[in-house]
Structure 1
Amino acid sequence: MGSKVPGLARLTALAVAAGLAVAACGATEPEGGTAVGDPAQPVSLTFWSWVPNIQKAVDAFNASHPGIKVKLETITPGPDGGYAKMLAGVKAGNAPDVAQVGYDSLPSFLVNGALQDITEYAGDDAAKFVDWQWQTGVFGGKVYAIPQASGPMGFYYRKDLFDKWGIEAPKTWDDFAAAAKTIQAKDKKAYISTFAANQAPWMIALAQQAGQQWFGTEGDSWKVTIDNPDTRRMAAFWQKLLDDKLVKTEADMSNAWYKDLQTGAITGWIGGSWGDAIIRGNAPDTAGKWAVAPMPQWPGAAKTVSASWGGGSASAVLKGTKNAAAATEFAVWLNSAPESVNILLSAGYGWPSVKDTSQIPNLRKDDTVFPFYGGQNIWDVFKEADAAVTLDWRWPPVSDALYASLTDNAKAAVQGEGTLTDAFARTQQAMVEQMKAKGLSVTAGG
């Protein structure tokens, strides 16, 4: 969730050390454009996003803003998909005007000079949004992105099968392990979950909930503490489940995983709030059989603690747009207008960034989502989960390298090359080396 990152001045200093182009991420005046537009000659914008069915919200914007016409292009999420195309587009001068970028990747986009300063157009909109989410797009007092949604974690599970086997939704991780054993005893082909070594944001969310953060700053230096006691405890827990063959090791959001959701071979998933649309869209015949519970808790926690998958997403205005004002108007409307937020909630875009949710009827009565989950208002679970996310988590300005290193090391561990604990230790070493190679001042801790 809300990643507190060093301010622009600190990131700029670190960028200088890394030999990056500082001028691109400094405070610059936005380029022209009009927020109103002329219906006879509307401003044309391009928007890149991976949210399912977001076209409905774009259509609603176009219908209510005749002076601005937005064209949606669907992209693949993440560093190896849309992000690479965005950064290449900025360099080539043909990037989209607005693009969906994860909160975790905004610092990387900033130091790569890919974000447009939109303070002039968005400065008065801060009050519309949850503060921590708004701050993910603010660096050095300048606004570069409009928050879209967070991804608070919950436990999706097949309530019909849990009821059949006499299992309650696990309240603690010990309960989770016990339920995993019971499921295997009842049906050798069924598992409580998969360990998704392909999903770095998922593994990071597990670590975030476990306790100690991974990245911090001391002066103008970064401190990397991935290999810490809380993360090691979490890794050892999942390693035991793997050793005992109580969880699957297939990649989530793969064809095999979707089939397992459909057949009941996978009976649970710890996923973000937007994950409800993933399950609904890929296992439609299981409608009415699912429920959602809070993320299981570690012992000794003074209060309920949750996490957010990759932090969440923002609508970032990219460097080079010739219509910064119109792009900002679209980004603000998309993520704050009740009509749009209501559409996107059912589309699976995550937990809203808008502060006032009283005008979002789908949070209280959703004829698309609630019936699939046996009539449960699952948003009540995610509202509490969002409020329980730790607020001190920071993302480094090299999140793409973090994701690549963690997935490589975790996949190796799952295949028997060391343990998951080793994987996180190796990731720490790799990140220290990676950040030093970029000229950053960095130390390792634990």
Structure 2
Amino acid sequence: MNRFTTRELPAMSHSPSSSRRRLGVLGAAVAAVVLLSSCAASDGGDSASGEPVEITFQSWVPNIDRAVDAFNESHDDINVTLETITAGPDGGYAKMLSAVQAGNPADVAQLGYDSIPDFLVADALEDITEYTADSADLFTEWQWETGVFDGQVYSVPQASGPLGQFYRKDIFDSLGLSHPTTWDEYYEAAKVIRASDPNRYIAAFAFNQAPWMIGLAQQGGAEWFATEGDSWKVAIDDEETLKVANFWQKLIDEDLVKIVADMSSEWNADVQNGNIVSWISGSWAAGIVSGTAPDTAGNWAVGAMPQWSDGETASATWAGGSASVVLKGSKHPKEAAEFALWLNSDPESVSILTSIGAGWPAIRDLDSVASLQDDPEVFAFFGGQNIWDVFAESDAAVAATWQWPPLSSTLFADLTDNVKAAVENKTPIADAFVATQADMVAALEGRGISVAK
């Protein structure tokens, strides 16, 4: 058996005690993962016959077949077959878990960072430490850490959605405004923008987007989940979160933001006609903005997130990101891990993934990603700005201490429902986070997961 301590893993020395604790609090089912997965080994594949090892890869990312084809063209010993799945817990994730239980899983699968704990609770992931630990330095620390539990590696990070401000620079300029660098400036800009036109707002309050609200709380310094011994600590109603909620409540009360679901038909029209003039969103949103409002090309820019204190650089993500995992029961874990590493670290592959909109690269060496260096179409839409510089800084500023809990799909659903109800009933947004705190504690305890009081 090969066992690895946290100290043996590169780039993890910042929080060894946290990494050692995290696996134990996921539940009794995970105890088997450490013991059994550490003994896992490839069955040798088809090397004796000289034929390539055949593995299957499940993903929902459009056009990711281009990266798979590039791998197959450059490797004689492994051949990957892509199987397209539906994203999310009710689509591809359910199919993955059913296949693991039936003993016939795909080898490699795409999985959101937020769902890795759920799959560990289900004992559905192979421990790939033996094959990947030496590659940790290739990746941005916080993204790598999302797949590390008790010093064991269960995923290879692919990409994230670091937050930034997309804004109509032409409208801001016409009103004498720069993009807000603090939340106080954001509030003042919101007042100027609202006064400039009876239909115009600085932004929408996206009550339909739990990942957006979670990102705002994370950027405000919140840490909703942590571990204490063998228990989870839940702090969705912490001081930092309520600070963020109360800020947006002020904007709502003063009619400075529009209450509308983002990416809805109404929101699309407002972006097109300049009635909504900014959007705090992930790096991937560049394609949505340009696709939604092509006639506004050249009028947009991107800035960093507003800060709660002048001079800070705190950032966050839209729902974390996604990774490649090796599903429990794969007959070829070694080859599966090799493909997962290549897919997410090879410069050619990462450039393809970035160009097709898979998200912000997890690798550290962004200079090697060709599609980030010269992107004429994107840069032209944003007035000649290299917007990727903003997101490179944003991704690097994401705190590595944020932890996703088990039952993340429950968290997203409860938060969305509670905030939507608060908006409809005109009750405080802060109360929705308090309600979500109670809901999440009950959900975890209902699954037999210990919660610290």
TM-score w.r.t. the length of structure 1 is 0.89
2:451 pairs with one of 417, 442, 445: 442
Q: Cα distance 1:81–1:277, how it changes in 2: closer, same or farther (>3 A)?
A: farther
CA deviation vs aligned residue, 1:229-248 (integer Å, no higher than 9, x gap) = 21111101111222233222
1:407 pairs with one of 401, 410, 416: 416
Q: Cα distance 1:387–1:259, how it changes in 2: closer, same or farther (>3 A)?
A: same
Residue type at the aligned position of 2:27: A
Give me the whole-angstrom Cα distance separating, in 2, the residues matched to 1:394 and 1:33: 34
**Does the residue aligned with 2:200 lie in a helix, a strand or coil?**
coil
- Of stretches 60-69 and 322-331 in structure 1, the one that deviates more from structure 2 is 60-69
1:244 pairs with one of 250, 254, 258: 254
2:27 alignment counterpart: 15
- Of stretches 290-299 and 217-226 in structure 1, the one that deviates more from structure 2 is 217-226
Q: Cα distance 1:156–1:217, how it changes in 2: closer, same or farther (>3 A)?
A: same
1:296 alignment counterpart: 306
Q: Cα distance 1:406–1:375, how it changes in 2: closer, same or farther (>3 A)?
A: same
Q: Cα distance 1:112–1:210, how it changes in 2: closer, same or farther (>3 A)?
A: same
Deviation of 1:329 after TM superposition, in Å, equals: 1.7
Q: Cα distance 1:85–1:117, how it changes in 2: closer, same or farther (>3 A)?
A: same
Q: Cα distance 1:294–1:129, how it changes in 2: closer, same or farther (>3 A)?
A: same
2:154 pairs with one of 133, 144, 150: 144
Q: Identity across aligned pairs (percent)?
A: 56
CA contact (8 A) 1:195 1:248 kept: yes
Does residue 97 (structure 1) correspond to residue 84 (structure 2)? The answer is: no
How many residues were matched structurally? 439
CA contact (8 A) 2:216 2:244 kept: yes
1:387 alignment counterpart: 396
Residue type at the aligned position of 2:208: N
1:351 pairs with one of 348, 355, 360: 360
Q: Cα distance 1:257–1:39, how it changes in 2: closer, same or farther (>3 A)?
A: farther
Q: Cα distance 1:281–1:229, how it changes in 2: closer, same or farther (>3 A)?
A: same
CA contact (8 A) 1:306 1:385 kept: yes
1:319 alignment counterpart: 328
Give matches, 1:64-75, under 5 Å.
Answer: 64-75=74-85
Does residue 280 (structure 1) correspond to residue 290 (structure 2)? The answer is: yes
Does residue 197 (structure 1) correspond to residue 196 (structure 2)? The answer is: no
**Does the residue aligned with 1:370 lie in a helix, a strand or coil?**
helix
Residue type at the aligned position of 1:360: V
Give me the whole-angstrom Cα distance separating, in 2, the residues matched to 1:317 and 1:429: 34
Does residue 159 (structure 1) correspond to residue 169 (structure 2)? The answer is: yes
Give matches, 1:101-112, under 5 Å.
Answer: 101-112=111-122
Give matches, 1:250-261, under 5 Å.
Answer: 250-261=260-271
CA contact (8 A) 2:26 2:117 kept: no
1:428 alignment counterpart: 437
Does residue 335 (structure 1) correspond to residue 335 (structure 2)? The answer is: no
**Does the residue aligned with 1:442 lie in a helix, a strand or coil?**
coil
CA contact (8 A) 2:225 2:402 kept: yes
Deviation of 1:384 after TM superposition, in Å, equals: 1.4
CA contact (8 A) 1:100 1:314 kept: yes
Q: Cα distance 1:369–1:217, how it changes in 2: closer, same or farther (>3 A)?
A: same
2:7 alignment counterpart: none
Q: Cα distance 1:48–1:265, how it changes in 2: closer, same or farther (>3 A)?
A: farther
CA contact (8 A) 1:197 1:251 kept: yes
Give matches, 1:29-48, under 5 Å.
Answer: 29-30=39-40, 32=42, 41-48=51-58
Give me the whole-angstrom Cα distance separating, in 2, the residues matched to 1:198 and 1:163: 30
CA contact (8 A) 2:145 2:400 kept: no
Q: Cα distance 1:190–1:59, how it changes in 2: closer, same or farther (>3 A)?
A: farther
Give matches, 1:121-132, under 5 Å.
Answer: 121-132=131-142
CA deviation vs aligned residue, 1:327-368 (integer Å, no higher than 9, x gap) = 212211111111111122222222221122232233332223
CA contact (8 A) 1:98 1:331 kept: yes
- Structure 1, unmatched stretches of 5+, are none
Q: Cα distance 1:120–1:391, how it changes in 2: closer, same or farther (>3 A)?
A: closer
Give me the whole-angstrom Cα distance separating, in 1, the residues matched to 2:42 and 2:444: 36
Give me the whole-angstrom Cα distance separating, in 2, the residues matched to 1:278 and 1:35: 42
Give me the whole-angstrom Cα distance separating, in 1, the residues matched to 2:198 and 2:84: 39
Q: Cα distance 1:263–1:60, how it changes in 2: closer, same or farther (>3 A)?
A: farther
CA contact (8 A) 2:142 2:399 kept: no
Residue type at the aligned position of 1:338: P
CA deviation vs aligned residue, 1:156-177 (integer Å, no higher than 9, x gap) = 1122222233322111112222
Q: Cα distance 1:319–1:167, how it changes in 2: closer, same or farther (>3 A)?
A: same
Residue type at the aligned position of 1:441: S
Deviation of 1:199 after TM superposition, in Å, equals: 1.7
**Does the residue aligned with 2:376 lie in a helix, a strand or coil?**
coil
- Structure 2, unmatched stretches of 5+, are 1-11
**Does the residue aligned with 1:101 lie in a helix, a strand or coil?**
strand
Q: Cα distance 1:149–1:347, how it changes in 2: closer, same or farther (>3 A)?
A: same
Give me the whole-angstrom Cα distance separating, in 2, the residues matched to 1:290 and 1:26: 53
1:360 alignment counterpart: 369
Residue type at the aligned position of 2:340: A
Does residue 181 (structure 1) correspond to residue 191 (structure 2)? The answer is: yes
**Does the residue aligned with 2:416 lie in a helix, a strand or coil?**
helix
Give me the whole-angstrom Cα distance separating, in 1, the residues matched to 2:267 and 2:326: 35
Deviation of 1:92 after TM superposition, in Å, equals: 3.2
Residue type at the aligned position of 2:367: S
Give me the whole-angstrom Cα distance separating, in 1, the residues matched to 2:295 and 2:73: 35
Q: Cα distance 1:10–1:122, how it changes in 2: closer, same or farther (>3 A)?
A: closer
CA deviation vs aligned residue, 1:300-322 (integer Å, no higher than 9, x gap) = x6622111222222111111222
Deviation of 1:36 after TM superposition, in Å, equals: 8.8
Query: C-alpha root-mean-square deviation of aligned residues, in Å?
Result: 2.7
